[in-house]
């Protein structure tokens, strides 16, 4: 109430804003309505206690029914092992894609052979119960062509188990999970090279190679190593091709985030590291804790990796084969000029390559600066063999002052950086809970404006990553950034001691950054997000043919088709060819004997958009989602005698409840 009374100039501003908006969008309005607030708008604002800024923010984010969002965000789903698809600016959740974790709505991991095979491929290679049912997803990466998002594929890592997943953006479904050989944890993943030649996966916590080779911590320096994997991507097949992938052995520092070079720095990759002290803890034995041990030195090492050169070395066969993958030994990486180090400020976290590939921005978590390295200077120093020394493993270290371009003081605890289309960079500042906007130097800005802090905006609270529209590509869009806050504290109605994360949408088009919207994320802690222009995506609305198998992305030979439904018994195996259409399954009765193996193929023969049918068998933990055209196969042993209804789990029609049948399992005599 009070706020509204004291509107003054601000109130005038909002009236003008609203007027302009209604003027420009007012094609459906009568002349007399133009230029005026709609009747009651002021009253609503007053009653709801909305400030002029609130109204402006609401107008900028509201997307009316039937209208689409301009951008789509792909967010890591954190511990859920899934991916969230979110519209911008509405911040509406559009989909949750099952990736590493079974997802019942999509029937991902609940009986279909296709999804079961994908999940199983990602299980642990050692141990008795090798099942993994969760993942710590961190960094999604859209496929790129010439350093720009092409809207075809999406990748994401599982930090907890060192795995990589491939999602096809024609149907937004997970197609492949790779359990990376030799590695047990990752973090610098996933990042793609500019033409998606490789999906980069940098390791995190050093371990023996492979990790299942036990070695005591006393032998850490000798036996433990870091690793980075370059997963070769076969775009035609839409799959990672492990036969062409390779790894590079690294010193046992804890490698952190990575980024691929682009344009000028094409062919190179950059990863930072922490714990170059090689601390291994031992707090229980009176030794300093890891956090103290790993923060003693003022500098850690930015890893500069020539992956083009590494490719050649792999082709020349100068590799070891370990657990079925080619590994470039550390000595070879050094002698072949694949690996160099650059000192970087204490406990660095994010490393981000500027749009032209000319600068590499690094932020130290315990520093107040972003540090910017020049790729040209790095190349010159390497060519001139201008090294300040070598690390204990023989890796040449470039001289910090030779390669640094600038340092910008932006605030305490900088983490990650994104870019806009106007030569600005945006860095998340964790300890301060702000987003800092600063200017890049030439050629992005004339000299006098270069490398300067412009503005900071508070966020709520403890920001990790941030994302700006296409903000890590060769051509960022500007427009929006989203701050991915770890803590929400007081922003939402309390829902118990586990608080949601908070995504805050920020408008960066104006002279000042403007906070527009808070979106609570209630499933696991998202880390990174990428934001793509929505019109770059062209997903299917139904599967292209009836009998389509999403696992192979082709029409299946075994797909049941209308008129070809049948049940066949061969020995102890009962094979069923079933179709689904509103509102029945055909056949509706499946009679088997206890202990029989049941192989059931089912096709949704619908062609209408959104006419999805589910297929659940009670008591057998089976649920499929069959989108129009889709075919799927379920195999199970009918080991529970009795009567088991099966039914459609999608409310598909008025007679949806009638879309059912019986599985009759006759007990053994």
The entry of ligand CUA, ligand RUQ, none near residue 164 (CB within 5 to 8 angstroms by kind) is none
| Residue 428 Cβ vs ligand RUQ, minimum distance, rounded to whole Å | 8
Residue from 527, 549, 600, 611 that binds ligand RUQ (CB under 6 A)?
Answer: 527
Tokens at 593, concatenated: 């004997």
The C-alpha atoms of residue 262 and residue 226 are separated, in whole angstroms, by: 24
Nearer to ligand RUQ, 138 or 437 (CB): 138
| Residue 660 Cβ vs ligand CUA, minimum distance, rounded to whole Å | 9
Q: Where are the alpha helices (DSSP H) in 294-352?
A: 307-315, 330-335
Residue from 163, 170, 175, 187 that binds ligand RUQ (CB under 6 A)?
Answer: 187
Nearer to ligand CUA, 86 or 652 (CB): 652
The C-alpha atoms of residue 150 and residue 259 are separated, in whole angstroms, by: 18
3-state secondary structure 121-158: CCCCCCCCCCCCCCCCECCCEEEEECCEEEEEEEEEEE
**C-beta separation of 364 from 370 below 8 A:** no
The entry of ligand CUA, ligand RUQ, none near residue 231 (CB within 5 to 8 angstroms by kind) is none
Residue from 262, 303, 349, 437 that binds ligand RUQ (CB under 6 A)?
Answer: 349
Q: Counting Cβ atoms within 10 Å, is residue 397 exposed (0-12), middle (13-18) or buried (19+)?
A: middle
**C-beta separation of 455 from 406 below 8 A:** no
- Check binding of 163 to ligand RUQ (CB under 6 A): no
Q: Alpha carbon of 343 to those of 334, 373, 580: distances in Å? A: 17, 11, 62
| Residue 525 Cβ vs ligand RUQ, minimum distance, rounded to whole Å | 8
The entry of ligand RUQ, ligand CUA, none near residue 656 (CB within 5 to 8 angstroms by kind) is ligand CUA
The entry of ligand RUQ, ligand CUA, none near residue 170 (CB within 5 to 8 angstroms by kind) is none
Residue from 52, 138, 205, 623 that binds ligand RUQ (CB under 6 A)?
Answer: 138
Residue numbers of the site for ligand CUA (CB under 6 A)?
583, 613, 648, 650-652, 656, 659
Tokens at 609, concatenated: 């958009």
- Check binding of 365 to ligand RUQ (CB under 6 A): no
| Residue 625 Cβ vs ligand CUA, minimum distance, rounded to whole Å | 11
Q: Do strands 660-666 and 226-234 pair parallel, antiparallel, or not at all (unpaired)?
A: unpaired
Q: Where are the alpha helices (DSSP H) in 30-76?
A: 41-48, 52-61
Q: Which residues of 652-663 are buried (b: 16+ CB within 10 A; e: fewer)?
A: bbeebeebbbeb
The entry of ligand RUQ, ligand CUA, none near residue 464 (CB within 5 to 8 angstroms by kind) is ligand RUQ
3-state secondary structure 326-338: EEECHHHHHHCCC
The C-alpha atoms of residue 355 and residue 342 are separated, in whole angstroms, by: 21
| Residue 237 Cβ vs ligand RUQ, minimum distance, rounded to whole Å | 28
| Residue 74 Cβ vs ligand CUA, minimum distance, rounded to whole Å | 29
Nearer to ligand RUQ, 465 or 479 (CB): 465
The entry of ligand CUA, ligand RUQ, none near residue 652 (CB within 5 to 8 angstroms by kind) is ligand CUA
Q: What are the strands, taking DSSP E only, across 522-588?
A: 529-533, 548-549, 554-555, 566-570, 573-581, 584-586
Nearer to ligand RUQ, 107 or 524 (CB): 524
Question: For residue 43, what are the contacts with CB-CB under 8 A and spacing of at least 6?
Answer: none
Neighbours of 583 (CB within 10 A): 16
- Which of positions 416-445 make contact with ligand RUQ (CB under 6 A)? 416
Nearer to ligand RUQ, 139 or 170 (CB): 139
The entry of ligand CUA, ligand RUQ, none near residue 415 (CB within 5 to 8 angstroms by kind) is ligand RUQ
The entry of ligand CUA, ligand RUQ, none near residue 650 (CB within 5 to 8 angstroms by kind) is ligand CUA
| Residue 542 Cβ vs ligand CUA, minimum distance, rounded to whole Å | 15
- Check binding of 464 to ligand RUQ (CB under 6 A): yes
- Check binding of 465 to ligand RUQ (CB under 6 A): yes
Angle between helical axes of 8-24 and 52-61 (0-180°, round to 10): 20
Q: Which residues bind ligand RUQ (CB under 6 A)?
A: 138-139, 187, 349, 415-416, 464-465, 527
């Amino acid at each position: 109430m009070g706020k509204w009374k004291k509107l003054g100039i601000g109130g005038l501003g909002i009236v003008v804003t609203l007027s302009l908006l209604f003027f420009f969008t007012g094609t459906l309005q009568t002349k007399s309505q133009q230029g005026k607030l709609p009747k009651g708008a002021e009253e609503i604002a007053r009653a709801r206690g909305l400030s002029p800024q609130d109204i402006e923010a609401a107008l900028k984010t509201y997307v009316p029914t039937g209208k689409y969002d301009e951008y789509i965000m792909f967010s890591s789903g954190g511990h859920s092992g899934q991916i969230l698809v979110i519209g911008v600016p509405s911040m509406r959740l559009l989909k949750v894609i099952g990736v590493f974790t079974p997802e019942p709505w999509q029937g991902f991991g609940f009986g279909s052979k296709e999804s079961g095979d994908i999940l199983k491929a990602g299980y642990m290679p050692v141990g008795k119960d090798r099942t993994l049912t969760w993942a710590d997803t961190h960094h999604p990466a859209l496929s790129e062509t010439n350093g720009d998002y092409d809207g075809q594929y999406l990748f994401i890592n599982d930090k907890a188990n060192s795995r990589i997943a491939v999602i096809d953006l024609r149907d937004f479904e997970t197609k492949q999970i790779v359990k990376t050989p030799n590695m047990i944890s990752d973090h610098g993943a996933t990042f793609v090279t500019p033409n998606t030649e490789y999906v980069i996966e940098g390791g995190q916590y050093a371990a023996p190679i492979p990790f299942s080779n036990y070695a005591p911590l006393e032998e850490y320096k000798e036996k433990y190593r870091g690793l980075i994997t370059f997963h070769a991507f076969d775009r035609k097949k839409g799959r990672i091709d492990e036969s062409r992938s390779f790894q590079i052995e690294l010193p046992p520092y804890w490698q952190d985030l990575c980024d691929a070079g682009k344009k000028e720095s094409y062919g190179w990759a950059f990863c930072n590291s922490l714990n170059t002290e090689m601390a291994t803890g031992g707090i229980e034995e009176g030794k300093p804790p890891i956090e103290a041990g790993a923060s003693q030195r003022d500098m850690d090492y930015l890893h500069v990796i020539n992956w083009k050169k590494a490719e050649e070395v792999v082709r020349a066969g100068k590799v070891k084969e370990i657990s079925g993958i080619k590994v470039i030994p550390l000595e070879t990486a050094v002698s072949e000029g694949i690996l160099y180090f650059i000192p970087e400020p204490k406990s660095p976290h994010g490393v981000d390559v500027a749009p032209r590939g000319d600068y590499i921005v690094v932020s130290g978590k315990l520093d107040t600066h972003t540090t910017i390295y020049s790729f040209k200077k790095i190349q010159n120093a390497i060519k001139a063999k201008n090294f300040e020394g070598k690390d204990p493993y023989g890796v040449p270290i470039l001289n910090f002052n030779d390669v640094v371009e600038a340092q910008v003081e932006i605030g305490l605890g900088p983490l990650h950086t994104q870019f806009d289309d106007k030569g600005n960079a945006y860095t998340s500042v964790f300890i301060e809970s702000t987003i800092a906007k600063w200017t890049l130097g030439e050629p992005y800005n004339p000299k006098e404006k270069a490398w300067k802090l412009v503005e900071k905006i508070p966020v709520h609270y403890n920001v990790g990553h941030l994302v700006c529209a296409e903000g890590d590509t060769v051509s960022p869009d500007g427009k929006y950034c989203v701050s991915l806050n770890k803590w929400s504290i007081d922003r939402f109605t309390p829902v118990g001691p586990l608080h949601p994360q908070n995504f805050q949408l920020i408008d960066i088009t104006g002279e000042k950054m403007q906070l527009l919207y808070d979106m609570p994320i209630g499933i696991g802690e998202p880390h990174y997000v990428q934001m793509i222009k929505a019109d770059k995506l062209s997903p299917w609305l139904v599967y292209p043919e009836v009998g389509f198998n999403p696992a192979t992305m082709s029409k299946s030979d075994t797909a049941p088709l209308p008129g070809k439904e049948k049940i066949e018994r061969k020995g102890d195996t009962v094979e069923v060819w079933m179709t689904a259409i509103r509102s029945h399954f055909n056949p509706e009765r499946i009679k088997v004997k206890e202990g029989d193996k049941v192989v059931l193929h089912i096709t949704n023969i619908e062609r209408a958009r959104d006419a999805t049918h589910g297929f659940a068998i009670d008591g057998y933990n089976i649920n499929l989602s069959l989108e129009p055209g889709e075919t799927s196969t379920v195999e199970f042993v009918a080991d529970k005698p009795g009567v088991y209804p099966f039914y459609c789990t999608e409310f598909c029609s008025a007679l949806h409840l009638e879309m059912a049948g019986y599985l009759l399992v006759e007990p053994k005599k």
